[in-house]
Amino acid sequence: MGLRERLFALALPAAILMTHGLPAHAETATLKVKSAVAAKDEHTAIDVIDVTLAPESRRDLAAFTKNRVGKRIHLRAGDVLLTSVTVQSPIASSSLRLTAGVQGFGGRSADEIANRLNQGGSLSVSDEK
């Protein structure tokens, strides 16, 4: 077996390990918020935050979710986990409705989070909780 064949024999298993069986590197995108409004859902009376993203962030969110259909993503405002969702299709809208969980938005009110976002805050979206 020549040098070329021995190098290939060593490189192939390494390449297979790199593409299979190892966890993917987590990614995060930062989304600029144009506006955020705290409200109550009309049907359930649950606290919500209606968010409008800046145009460039709408594109960033669409790109981020394009290859994550069927996977969970997590939205945060700073260090506060707001919601986790399973992506059903790429999210190409500039409008998002964030719904509070049982404990609100990380223990904070919808008004508090909306105010933070309106004061130059941003949302981060990640595939790692």
In the chain, the number of structural domains is 1
CA–CA gap between residue 17 and residue 8 (Å, rounded):
14
Q: Please check whether residue 51 lies inside any domain of the structure.
A: yes
What share of residues in the chain are helix, strand, coil (percent, to 5)?
30, 35, 35
Q: Please check whether residue 13 lies inside any domain of the structure.
A: no
Q: Return the CATH number at 83.
A: 3.30.1360.200
Tens-digit pLDDT profile for residues 10-47: 444 444 444 444 445 679 999 999 999 999 999 988 99
Tell me which long-range contacts 18-24 makes (C-beta under 8 A, separation of at least 24): 24/127
Q: Please check whether residue 17 lies inside any domain of the structure.
A: no
Q: Please check whether residue 90 lies inside any domain of the structure.
A: yes
pLDDT at 8 over 70: no
Q: Please check whether residue 111 lies inside any domain of the structure.
A: yes
pLDDT of residue 13: 42
Q: Please check whether residue 4 lies inside any domain of the structure.
A: no
CA–CA gap between residue 4 and residue 60 (Å, rounded):
43
Q: Please check whether residue 20 lies inside any domain of the structure.
A: no
pLDDT band at 121 (very low <50, low <70, confident <90, very high): confident
The pair of structure tokens assigned to 110 is 């919808």
What are residue 126's DSSP bridge partners? Answer: 28, 74
Global pTM?
0.75
Tens-digit pLDDT profile for residues 43-88: 988 999 999 999 999 999 999 999 999 999 999 999 899 988 899 9
Tens-digit pLDDT profile for residues 98-116: 998 766 788 899 999 999 9
Query: Which residues form the domain of 120?
Result: 25-126
Q: Please check whether residue 36 lies inside any domain of the structure.
A: yes
